[in-house]
Amino acid sequence: MTTIDTKNKPEGSGSAGAAPLLEVDNLHVEFRTREGVAKAINGVSYDVSAGETLAVLGESGSGKSVTAQTIMGILDMPPGHITGGEIRFHGKDMLRMSKEERRKIRGQKISMIFQDALSALNPVYSVGFQLAEMFTVHRGMSRKNAKLKAIELMDQVRIPAAKDRVNDYPHQFSGGMRQRIMIAMALALDPELIIADEPTTALDVTVQAQVMDLLAELQRERNMGLILITHDLGVVADVADKIAVMYAGRIVEQAPVRELYRQPTHPYTKGLLESIPRLDHKGRELYAIKGLPPNLMRIPSGCAFNPRCPYAQDICRSDVPPLHEISVGRGSACHFWETVMEGEVRG
């Protein structure tokens, strides 16, 4: 049995034959507070290539959004501190770049769609003004031409009657339409990579599907890389190429999407899959992973999932499992991944 070296991730982890756009390598982040030190990110490594979608899954507090904020350079420091690792964009470590160099990448090369569109948009400016500002600030366009580009973007993300609504304010749009505005802002400067942080939270199921379909279509048209952060396995089933599952600041499983859905190799991933409501299980009690996510100031010794794990044995409470390489592009941080792999998913 081999393990995946964070400095040499398994073949197939990116698009075949393509150099990754972004590589997160052995990243460590902690928050230093009066109450203590919270170990938010504990050696995260993943990559994404042009045209590829990586879904990053996990419960709240698993480190998904902190990793994204660190990539974007918007992590609050202090209390946040990057204590190790690299974030390479086209092979260049962004953590060693000057603020000016990173500013040129942020927004223009790497964009982010935030979770709460109403909070992310400025309520006192029209959506057209906020979209146009991207072009006036970064492209030096006139206000008139920038407004025309704003209308064009609103059309691209299918805002009805974009020309008539360009002067409307965020509160005048529905939640789904505001999320489309956020997608338009992310696309404005033709980025190579988009990070979407819970882009469908608080939207109803129908609108969720519409937003995800739109995002996937725009990604294909522009051949962008996409990192999709979510806690919902159902959202990513049809759009992701590969999945990284996070728990307590670590990646506990990574795999091509179909392989992970067909046969999970980590108890946490298995529990997440079993928690998805199924039509053929109508009337049955919905499975829930027992216990609560760990306190990041007091992460359990050994495998952080061991207090909640039905497979846990003594070794799980003493030794941190490495990310075992199971096959090309597949990894599991479980001492008993073979046992988990053989087990049937409970209803």
Which tens digit of pLDDT belongs to each residue from 141-164? 999 999 999 999 999 898 999 999
Long-range interactions of 205-211: CB distance < 8 A, separation 24+: 207/175, 207/176, 207/179, 208/235, 210/176, 211/176, 211/179, 211/180, 211/183
Find out whether 301 and 317 touch, Cβ atoms under 8 Å: yes
Cis peptide before 79 (omega within 30 of 0): yes
What is the predicted pLDDT for the residue at 17? 53
Predicted confidence at residue 306, as pLDDT, reads: 94
> Nearest to residue 287, comparing CAs of 296, 279, 277, 295?
277
Mean pLDDT, 10 residues at a time, the chain of 347 residues: 38 55 96 93 94 92 92 91 95 92 88 83 93 89 93 91 94 89 89 89 75 86 92 80 94 94 93 79 77 92 94 94 90 92 59
Predicted pLDDT of residue 319: 95
Q: For the chain, list the domains and their CATH numbers.
A: 17-121+191-342 (3.40.50.300)
CB-CB contact of 266 with 253 (8 Å):
yes
Considering only CA atoms, give the Rg of the chain. 21
* Residue 179 Cα distances to 1, 56, 154, 164, 188, angstroms: 45, 20, 11, 18, 14
Amino acid 345: pLDDT = 42
3-state helix, strand, coil in the chain (%, to 5): 35, 25, 40
Ramachandran quadrant class, 132 (left: phi over 0; alpha: psi -120 to 50; beta: rest): alpha
Residue 275 — φ and ψ, nearest 5°? -80, -10
